[in-house]
Amino acid sequence: MGLRPVLLHRRIAGIASTSMALVLGVATVGLLPAATTAASPAAAAVVADEHCEDPTGTAARVRGDAVVKHDPNELTMAQLHQREAEFADLLQERAKRVGQRTLSAQAAAASVTIPVVVHVIRRDTTRAGGNIPDSMIQSQINVLNQSFAGATGGAATAFAFQLQSINRVTNTAWYPIRQGTSAERQMKTQLRQGNKATLNIYLGELSNGLLGWATFPQSTLNVMDGVVVLSESLPGGTATNYNQGDTGTHEVGHWLNLYHTFQGGCSGQGDQVADTPAEASPAYQCPTGRDTCSSPGLDPITNFMDYTFDSCMYQFTPGQATRMINAWNTYRA
């Protein structure tokens, strides 16, 4: 499917104005079904260490041609219900404190600028070693601002993003970054800055074909909180079809409490957002007209929270915008 004119303008302007690329956020995604391949002993050892410490609190995005043992964002129904019950209880408590009318008015009028701290994890000071330029990072911030403002064709949300600092770290023990490992925890423990309202983005080479991953919000600040992104998935990078900045948007969506559009499949409440049509499974590439559920509406393949190519996704819905600001006021404000 071709780009909408406004989306095409965003892509060209976003890349040209900052020279090369963007920073990405995180979420588990696949593009094409991957064939199972035999792993070497060394690869098996790496997989054994990637144990997904908190499967209920992490979301990831995966290359379509990658073989991934575990999708950190594959929530079971029990995990989903637990998270949603907590969210509902916290919303109810807050409504009692300030009043439902005040709560609704605050959400409608909300305007939130999120400070962003970017950590560039590199093997050495070369581009091949993960040392991406500042221009790529600023470009990603531009893409986040346009995507969350509705400038690419979707609903406007309450959120804007402001780059606060860039921290460059040369550490071969953290390169590549491996999801769910003790090295990841050590990295974040040493580097994370700010409070629950500060978005920390970690960039580098990633293991197992992942494009990135993110954490869902929690009631108390967890040192693992933040987003991890493959450096070459930035615009102008080498991650073909995933190098226009929408992985960043997708993963920040998770960080703000959105699920994948295909969460829950065709049954139940799905992704917990009423205006995203139900979808049986992830959509890969850009399958125009795809319709996998009998309920009304085609699959939301252009939604930032699906798994399609960056060139295919361009929007959040009003329901997603409302869910994000409610989650912000509940967990991060």
Q: Between residues 73 and 9, which one has the greater pLDDT? A: 73
Mean pLDDT of the region 251-279: 94
The pLDDT score that the predictor gives to residue 242 is 92
pLDDT, one tens digit per residue, over 86-114 is 999 998 888 787 776 666 666 665 799 99
CA distances from 197 to 162, 200, 240, 271 (A): 12, 10, 32, 23
Instruction: Name, in order, each residue with C-beta under 8 angstroms of 215's C-beta and a sequence gap of 6 or more.
Output: 54, 57, 58, 59, 222, 224, 225, 226, 227, 254, 255
Give yes or no for a cis peptide into 115 (omega within 30° of 0): no
The more confidently predicted of residues 94 and 69 is 94
Band (pLDDT 50/70/90 cuts) for residue 321 is: very high
What pLDDT is attached to residue 59?
Answer: 66
Burial of residue 306 (number of CB atoms within 10 Å: 0-12, 13-18, 19+)? buried
d(CA 264, CA 231): 30
Q: Coil, strand or helix: which one is 73?
A: coil
* Topology adopted by domain 111-251: Collagenase (Catalytic Domain) (3.40.390)
Give the pLDDT confidence score for residue 236 in this predicted structure: 81
**Residue position matching structure tokens 């939301």:** 300
Task: Check pLDDT > 90 for residue 32.
Answer: no
Regarding predicted confidence, which is higher, 3 or 167? 167
Residue 147 has pLDDT above 50, yes or no: yes
pLDDT at 241 exceeding the cut of 80 = yes
pLDDT at site 122: 97
Every domain of the chain with CATH number 3.40.390.10 lies at 111-251
pTM for the whole structure = 0.81
Report the 10 Å Cβ neighbour count for 43.
14
- Catalytic residue list contains 251: yes
pLDDT at residue 131 is higher than 70: yes
Selecting among 50, 184, 232, 251, the annotated active-site residue is: 251
